[in-house]
A and B are shown apart, each in its own frame.
Chain A
Amino acid sequence: MLMLRVMTWISLRLGRRAGRLVLHPIAGYFLLFAPASRRASSAYLRRVLARPPRWRDLYRHIFTFAATIHDRVYLINRRFDLFEFEVHGEEMLQRLLAGGKGLFLMGAHLGSFEAIRALGRKDTDFRVAMLMHEDNARKINAMLAAINPEAVQDIIGLGHIDSMLTVQQRLDQGCIVGMLADRTPGNDTLCPVRILGADANLPRGPFRMAALLRRPVAFMTGLYLGGNRYAIHFDRLADFSTVARGERDAAVELAITRYAALLDQYCREAPYNWFNFFDFWQASAAATASPT
């Protein structure tokens, strides 16, 4: 969070090119003085690169993270002219939305979810409500308001008794409801999966919700390719529209397995875009050992 604040300040004051110069010492600082993040980065890179990572790999990983945070400021300010986007799967998304009943968009701490704003650049009318933890919701809204008061997103905070009713209402209005589905809030039941050849666990909650509300689900990531280039990918994950109650659990499991496979695929495609700077695999193994 400190990093976020520092970066926002720099981006706003100095512009993208100058801002990116400052990113280097910042990435260097975090590489040297954030040992926990460095260890997590190292463990992840070892998996994805299938070799011991070098210092320059670690640096590149942290720099990529810093760069996407930095770019968020410009995306929020609708400075799409600064970037080159390649978008994959937008037609599929349009088709799913054509039903008029909304859809769920599951992202991850992989690449930049903010890149979805780039879709609005062609006047296509995507309305996105983000579902997230109440604390994060407050922080993000404060940040958005500071950067561009008009950009304040529709954010649904979790943890209210009627959070899910709000989700349902947005979907009924034809909105996209987005969330990051790779971290567990702590009290969710977990689904064992394989990512990068190792056991991990993913929360069931996001997919259970989509199944209950009988909506289509798509995957989304905005991979940073370096320079000013992003590749935005939408992939079909599941369509719960016609899934009967008895088949629900199996369908949820299948969707999570597919989600894990997409994480695996895009991690390999753009290895430095994985932004879970903690030991994702071990942390989720520990969570299974002591289900609370």
Chain B
Amino acid sequence: MIECLNLEVTAEQIAPDAPLYGDGLGLDSIDVLEVALVVSKRYGLQLQSGSADNPHIFKSLRSLSDHIAAQRTR
């Protein structure tokens, strides 16, 4: 994720449970899009707009990776 967003932090500095969006890591919705695009390319799962789960999925790095682990197709 750091690689795809060119973030100025190291992987160790991202707390797995800190919020990704807004406060915390401070990603904006375009960053979220970028993450979603990379996730779909690498793990073959589509994140859908309007899904009620989205705020939960993107809550933190942990919730995102849990979701990927559960839904990945490759």
Contact = CB atoms under 8 A, between A and B. Distances in A.
A162 B21 contact: no
Contacts of A158: 29
Contact of B49 (A159, A166, A205, A213): A166
Interface string B35-74: 0110000000001111100110010000000000000000
Interface of A: 158-169, 187, 205, 208-209, 212-213
Choose among A164, A187, A212 the residue with the greatest number of B CB atoms under 10 Å from its CB.
A164
B30 interface: yes
Contact of A162 (B34, B37, B51): B51
A162 B30 contact: no
Nearest to B51: A162
Given A166-B49, A166-B50, A168-B49, A161 B37 contact: no
A163 B28 CA distance: 10
Interface size class of B (residues with CB under 8 A): 10 to 19
Contacts of B29: 158-164
B63 to A, nearest CB: 12
B30 A161 contact: no
A165 B33 contact: yes
Given A164-B36, A168-B33, A208-B30, 9 more contacts: A162-B32, A162-B50, A162-B54, A163-B49, A164-B29, A165-B36, A168-B49, A187-B28, A205-B30
Interface in B12-36: 21, 28-30, 32-34, 36
B30 A212 contact: yes
B68 to A, nearest CB: 15
A173 to B, nearest CB: 12
A213 B50 contact: no
B58 to A, nearest CB: 5
Contacts of A167: 33
25 contacts: A160-B29, A161-B21, A161-B32, A161-B55, A161-B58, A162-B29, A162-B47, A162-B49, A162-B54, A163-B49, A164-B36, A165-B32, A165-B33, A165-B36, A165-B47, A165-B48, A165-B49, A166-B50, A169-B48, A169-B49, A187-B28, A208-B30, A212-B30, A212-B37, A213-B33
